[in-house]
Amino acid sequence: METSDAENLRSAESDVAAHSAVFRKELGLRDLVLTQILFIIGLTWVGAAGKLGPSHVVFWLLAITFFYLPSAAVVIYLNRLMPLEGGLYQWAKLGFSEAAGFMVAWNLWLYVITNTSEIGLQLTTNLAYAIGPSGAWISENKWLITLTSLFVIALLVVVSTIGLGVGKWVHNVGGVIMLTIFAVLLVLPFIHVARGELREYHPLATAVPVVSLFSLNILGKLGFGALGGFEYVAILAGETRSPARTIGRSVMVAAPLIAVMFIFGTSSVLAFVHPDQIDLIAPIPQVLSLGFSTFGVAAIVVPIALALLIILRIAQSSVNFTGLTRLPMVAGWDHLMPAWFTKLHPRFKTPVNSILFVGVVTVVLGALSLIGVGQQESFQLLFNAGGIFYALTYLVMFAIPLLGLRSLEPAPPWWLRLAAASGFLMTLLYVGLSVFPIITVKNNLAFTLKISGVIVAANVLGAAIFLAARARRARER
C-alpha cells in the first residue's frame, strides 16, 4: 500500500477509535448472528418470491449465486480492512472520498427512515389478521395506522436512548422469534399432508422460469432486496467486541440459515396461497391464518403467532433505528453535520439528539405516505423508494474493490473483484426495475414518476447539505 493510503487508514482508525472509546462493547458473536437474521429476513420477501410460482426456487438460487455470496465476501473483506464505527460510511469515505461517504450515509439514512416509517401500516395489517374478519377495518384506518406508528417509534426512541445493553436483548428476542416463526411456517405444509388436507407437498419442486420484465423485477428484489444487509451491523463496529473478526464470523454463520429460510418459506406460502392472491404486506400472517384454520386450536394459536410477528417487526425496527441514529453522529465527527448530533446522553452514552431527530422524521414520513393512495400502493411506494436508497449505497460498496483504494497493496484478489462486479450488476438491476410496481396501482406512470422524483430530489438535497457543510467547516477552520 502506498504511504497515502496507509496513512489515511491508520489516521481514520485512530480518530474513530478515539471517538468510540466511550462506547460500551455490548455486542458479541451470538448477538450479531441473531441481529443478522433479524435484519436481513424481511417478512414480505417470501410473498414477493411467491409471485413467481414454482419457479421461485430457480430465482432464489440465481440471487444467492450472483448477489448473496458476493455481498458476503465483499462485506467480510471491507470490514477486516476497516472495522470502524459507521461501517459503510467509513468504507466509502476512505475508499473514494468524503463526498462519497456522506452520500452513502445520506441514502442509507433515507432507506432506514422509509423502512421504519412502514411500521404502523405493517403492524395494523398483522393485527387485522389476528382479530379476523371483524378486524379488517383496522388496516384501512389511516388515523389508527399513524397513532400506531407514533407509539412504536416513541418506544424505539426510549430503547435506543438506553442503548445496546437493553437493545441487544430486544434484537436477540426478535431473532429467536424469527427462527421460531419460520420453523412453524416450514413444517405447516407437512402437517397438512399428514392430515390429508394437502394431497402432496414438494418444497423444492420447480418449473422453468419465464423471463419477462416482471420476473426480472422480482429477481432484482430477491437479490439485493431480500438478501442485502450483511454490512449493516458494521455501523456498530465501535460497540462490538473484536469487530474485525466477530462481524465476519457472524456473516458466515447467518448466511446459510437465511438462505434455507427464504427458499423453504416461499414454498410454504405457495402451498396455501395462489400467487395472484398473495398479500405483499403480510404474507406470513396470511399463511398462518389459512394454515391453522382447520385446526381446533386455531382460535388460540393464530392470534399468538401473529402477536409474535408484531413483536418481531418492532424488534426489526429497533435494529434499523439503532444503526440509523449512528450515521448523523459519525458524520458529525467529521464536521459534516452539526455538533448537536454528536451529543451523547450523560449516562447511557448514546447519541440522544440524533435519536430524537430520527424519531420525529420517521413519524412524519409515515403519515405523509398515506396521503392520496391505497394501502397496498402506499406500502409499495415506501418499499420501492426505500429499497432504491439502500441499493445506491450498495453500488458504492461493490465499487470499492473494483475502483477504490487504487494504491492498496496487495490489491483485492481477482475472485473478489469478480464477486463485486456480480453484486454491482445485480444491484443495478434492482435499481433499474424498482421504479415499476409489481401490483396493480391507480396509475403506473404516476407511481414511477413519484419514486423517481423522490430519489432525485432527495439526493440533490443531500448533495446540497454536504456542500453547505463543507463550506461551513472551511470557514470555521
Give 301-340 pLDDT, tens digit per residue: 767 777 787 888 889 888 988 888 888 898 888 888 888 9
* Greater model confidence, 188 or 208: 188
Give 222-248 pLDDT, tens digit per residue: 888 889 989 999 999 989 999 989 999
Give 334-374 pLDDT, tens digit per residue: 888 888 989 998 888 889 999 998 888 887 876 665 555 44
Position 1 scores a pLDDT of 43
Grouping H, G, I as helix, E, B as strand and the rest as coil, residue 309 is helix
Residue 337 phi, psi (nearest 5): -130, 155
Give 89-115 pLDDT, tens digit per residue: 999 998 899 999 999 999 998 888 877
pTM, two decimal places: 0.85
Give 133-147 pLDDT, tens digit per residue: 777 777 677 778 778
What b/e readout covers 133-148, taking b as 16+ CB neighbours within 10 angstroms?
eeeeebbeeeebbbeb
- Asked if 84 contacts 13 with a C-beta cutoff of 8 angstroms, the reply is yes
Find which of 180-189, 288-297, 357-366, 430-439 is predicted with most confidence, using mean pLDDT: 180-189
Residue range 184-212: average pLDDT? 87
Q: What is the mean pLDDT of the chain?
A: 84
Distance CA 305, CA 105 (A): 36
- Asked if 111 contacts 389 with a C-beta cutoff of 8 angstroms, the reply is yes
Find which of 46-50, 175-179, 211-215, 436-440 is predicted with most confidence, using mean pLDDT: 175-179
> Over 70: is that where the pLDDT of 298 sits?
no
Q: Which domains does the chain have, with CATH numbers?
A: 3-476 (1.20.1740.10)
> Over 90: is that where the pLDDT of 433 sits?
no
What are 81's three cell numbers? 480492512
Closest CA to 135 of 146, 143, 124, 145: 124
- Asked if 358 contacts 113 with a C-beta cutoff of 8 angstroms, the reply is yes
Distance CA 114, CA 458 (A): 12
Question: Which of the four pLDDT bands, split at 50, 70 and 90, describes residue 125?
Answer: confident
Residue 155 phi, psi (nearest 5): -65, -40
Residue range 154-158: average pLDDT? 90
Distance CA 150, CA 364 (A): 9
Distance CA 284, CA 295 (A): 17
What are 231's three cell numbers? 454490512
Give 23-36 pLDDT, tens digit per residue: 888 899 999 999 99
What are 10's three cell numbers? 491508520
DSSP letter string, 121-154: HHHHHHHHHHH-GGGGGGGG-HHHHHHHHHHHHH
Q: What amino acid is encoded at 446 in this protein?
A: A
Position 473 scores a pLDDT of 87
